[in-house]
Amino acid sequence: MTLKIPENLENISTEIIETDLLIIGGGNAGCFSAIEAKKLNPDLKVTIMEKAHISRSGACSAGMDAINTYIPEGKTPEDLVRWCRSQVGGGPLREDLVLSCAEELNESVDDLEQWGLPILRDDDDNPRYRGKWDISIHGEALKPIMAEKAIEVGAEVYNRIVGSALLMSGDQCIGAMGFGVRNGKFYIFKAKATIVATGGACGLYKSYTSDSTDSHHQTWMCPFNVGTGYAMGIKAGAEFTSMEQRWVATRSKDFCGPIDTISVGYKSNIINAKGEKILEERYAHLGGDQAPRYIRANAPMEEWLEGRGPTYADTTHLSDEEVKDLKVDYLNERPSYVLFLAARGQDITKEPIEIYGSDPYIVGGHTGSGYWVEMDRMTTIKGLFAAGETAGGNPNKFVGGCAAEGKLATRGAMKYMDALELPETDMEQVELEKKRIFEPLFKGTDFDGVKPREMEERLQRLMDEYAGGSSQFYRTNEERLNYCLKHLKKLKNDVQYLQAGNLHDLMLAHEVIDRLDVAEIVCHHLSHRKETRWQGWQTRSDYPETNPEFDCFVESRLNTETNEIETFTRPYEQIIQGDRYKE
């Protein structure tokens, strides 16, 4: 529907919504936060601020084929922590957070099954494990199931509201602001406690097929999650952890879809052009096929670099039934991959699935990057909690972990808001934000400005070439990072020239603005960690070895007075005993 664009700031109406618990992002973690809140207190006012439509928004739009962590019988939450730790090369990671999530994990997944999610079971009614910890599901309707439950229990959902900034009162977060991408209104949500669960950040880097007509968003991750939740916190001076731990994984080549856990599940070894089993051959010392994810991600790229590409997941041994099951898995998560194979006339038992790395993403549900949080999931900003991909320190959450963390964040938020009185809103802050949000719409038709798409493409190529994107086989160095930061500053300066002709473009404008904030701290983190700890996720060509000095967390925070990003470290604490590098 084409909406009449408001002509000036005065024509824009403001809606103020007061609530108890505000959840920014109606995704996996967000829905579980809402459901938990209503379970603990049915009279609590719970509001979800959602950028798209909650029934199919975010990373789960097409569905999910597996829940990658579900503790099997005989294993304990501590075992999960150990595995998780080994998968990130021994850490550092917040073992306290991981353990607390692991303890809630199975119950959250069981809830999903109660609500109708089909979990595949064997003849003895046990869940079918595709790998050590991952169970197969038919999750095409995962998102509607969660969304419906959240609505059923009484959460109030505001669809099509793009979040733009936190509402602050001094150093306390009392809600958030945003705009309606369909109705052009300005929104102020006042809340006693806020949970930010906006997913991760995609599109910081250029995806390597993004140079043509129809495939700008050929990314593994949902391209509509741009890190707005992170950006909101960055601007308010929140502390972020491990942003250098970018998520890169083995992906199907060109299509950039999931393949990693599938290749494990269907026992399809990663091979190179010569048919050599790469992991066994070259990475045996790091665990071979059991090697941590970043090893598996980097391996095919290294083969290409050294001229032994293309690389494949060897599916030639699969039976017809296994091929069917594999395709059903895809149909549940990235259905168009089946179309991709059909569009190549590819029979994967004859031509194995070609693999490659992907562009790097920031996702705290896969690696540990995101907000620094306490056990109650409160960030360093009072009143702001984080859960899911937005919260850091806790890698390998996946669907079950994000759900569990949503619950934990709610419990923390509810304790926090007990007997809390909401202060008055600072109208100056609000007016400034309103102006900032809608500015690109009012430049006028003669304005000689920059389109959001132009800036986005520039950002993505900048990051790709200078901050370790896929074209650089993830490598970066000091000089390139400095160059990147310098140009990011130029881009940030050019934000004033961004011009939008309609509300959709206005959303795109803010998406690129938010990405700039996230990209900036990613570069700072990459710069600060002067070693290579997780090759692929974080490769420093000037510091190719691991340095024990950096056996710690790298943190960042915007100094709101100097307006500069500060980076520092925090020590790593091993809680679960045992060899950090082994499960």
Binding of other proteins by 45 (CB under 8 A):
no
Nearer Cβ to other proteins (252/556): 252
Q: How far apart are CA 477 and CA 153, in angstroms?
A: 50
Q: Exposed, middle or buried by CB within 10 Å (0-12, 13-18, 19+), for 261?
A: buried
Binding of other proteins by 380 (CB under 8 A):
no
Least distance CB 518 / other proteins (angstroms): 19
Taking CB under 8 A as the binding criterion, the range among 336-344, 430-438, 458-466, 535-543 that sits at the site for other proteins is 336-344
Q: Per-residue x/- marks for other proteins, 92-121, CB under 8 A?
A: ---------------------xx-xxx---
With tokens 């550092």, the residue in question is 92
Q: How far apart are CA 237 and CA 231, in angstroms?
A: 10
With tokens 């070609």, the residue in question is 354
Least distance CB 32 / other proteins (angstroms): 15
Nearer Cβ to other proteins (152/479): 152
**66 within 8 A of 329, measured Cβ to Cβ:** yes
Least distance CB 503 / other proteins (angstroms): 9
Binding of other proteins by 39 (CB under 8 A):
no
Q: List the beta bridge partners of residue 184.
A: none
Binding of other proteins by 349 (CB under 8 A):
no
- Count the Cβ atoms, other than its own, within 10 Å of residue 347: 11
Among 338, 417, 420, 422, binds other proteins (CB under 8 A): 338
Among 41, 106, 209, 290, binds other proteins (CB under 8 A): 209
> Which is it for strands 46-49 and 14-24: parallel, antiparallel or unpaired?
parallel
Q: What is the dihedral of CA 245, 250, 253, 257, to 10 degrees?
A: -80
Binding of other proteins by 342 (CB under 8 A):
yes
Nearer Cβ to other proteins (71/145): 145
Binding of other proteins by 10 (CB under 8 A):
no
Q: What is the dihedral of CA 190, 196, 199, 202, to 10 degrees?
A: 80
Report H helices in 25-141.
Answer: 28-40, 77-87, 95-114
Taking CB under 8 A as the binding criterion, the range among 99-107, 209-217, 401-409, 442-450 that sits at the site for other proteins is 209-217
Among 482, 188, 529, residue whose Cα is nearest residue 369: 529
Among 5, 286, 328, 495, binds other proteins (CB under 8 A): 328
Q: What is the dihedral of CA 185, 188, 189, 190, to 10 degrees?
A: -160
- Concatenating the DSSP letter of every residue in 426-440 gives -HHHHHHHHHHHHGG
Binding of other proteins by 461 (CB under 8 A):
no
Taking CB under 8 A as the binding criterion, the range among 10-18, 75-83, 136-144, 493-501 that sits at the site for other proteins is 136-144
Angle among Cα 386, 82, 368 to the nearest 5 degrees reads: 30
Nearer Cβ to other proteins (98/155): 155
- Concatenating the DSSP letter of every residue in 387-426 gives -GGGB-S----HHHHHHHHHHHHHHHHHHHHTTPPPPPP-
The 3-state secondary structure of 174-242 reads: EEEEEEECCCCCEEEEEEEEEEECCCCECCCCCCCCCCCCCCCCCCCCCCCCECHHHHHHHHCCCEEEC
Binding of other proteins by 269 (CB under 8 A):
no
Give me the amino acid identity at 334.
R
Binding of other proteins by 40 (CB under 8 A):
no
Q: How far apart are CA 49 and CA 38, in angstroms?
A: 16
Q: How far apart are CA 532 and CA 530, in angstroms?
A: 7
Least distance CB 269 / other proteins (angstroms): 25
Nearer Cβ to other proteins (151/279): 151
The residues in 386-445 that bind other proteins, with binding defined as CB under 8 A, are: none
Least distance CB 146 / other proteins (angstroms): 11
Taking CB under 8 A as the binding criterion, the range among 208-216, 308-316, 491-499, 542-550 that sits at the site for other proteins is 208-216
Among 284, 339, 432, 575, binds other proteins (CB under 8 A): 339
- Concatenating the DSSP letter of every residue in 117-182 gives --B-B-TTSPBPBSSSS-EEB--TTHHHHHHHHHHHTT-EEETTEEEEEEEEETTEEEEEEEEETT
Nearer Cβ to other proteins (181/391): 181
Binding of other proteins by 148 (CB under 8 A):
yes
Among 6, 72, 144, 310, binds other proteins (CB under 8 A): 144
Binding of other proteins by 152 (CB under 8 A):
yes
The residues in 497-556 that bind other proteins, with binding defined as CB under 8 A, are: 504, 507
Q: Per-residue x/- marks for other proteins, 52-81, CB under 8 A?
A: xx-xxxx--xx-------------------
With tokens 């599916």, the residue in question is 315
Nearer Cβ to other proteins (290/336): 336
Q: Exposed, middle or buried by CB within 10 Å (0-12, 13-18, 19+), for 495?
A: middle
Taking CB under 8 A as the binding criterion, the range among 95-103, 148-156, 272-280, 305-313 that sits at the site for other proteins is 148-156
Among 72, 310, 335, 449, binds other proteins (CB under 8 A): 335
Nearer Cβ to other proteins (222/262): 222
Among 182, 267, 490, 582, binds other proteins (CB under 8 A): 182
Among 509, 515, 518, 503, residue whose Cα is nearest residue 160: 503
**Size of residue set near other proteins by CB under 8 A:** 61
Nearer Cβ to other proteins (435/504): 504
Binding of other proteins by 310 (CB under 8 A):
no
Nearer Cβ to other proteins (151/313): 151
For residue 371, the surrounding DSSP H or E stretch is strand 370-371
Least distance CB 161 / other proteins (angstroms): 12
Among 151, 193, 353, 459, binds other proteins (CB under 8 A): 151
Binding of other proteins by 215 (CB under 8 A):
yes
Give how far Cα 450 sits from Cα of 1, 6, 184, 432, 460, Å. Answer: 25, 20, 21, 22, 16
Ramachandran region, residue 199 (left: φ > 0; alpha: ψ -120 to 50; beta: rest): left
Q: In what order do the strands lie in the sheet with 251-252?
A: 251-252, 353-356, 311-313, 270-271
Q: Which residues bind other proteins (CB under 8 A)?
A: 1-2, 52-53, 55-58, 61-62, 113-114, 116-118, 138, 140-141, 144-145, 147-149, 151-152, 160, 181-182, 209, 212-219, 222-224, 254-255, 324, 327-328, 331-332, 334-336, 338-346, 504, 507
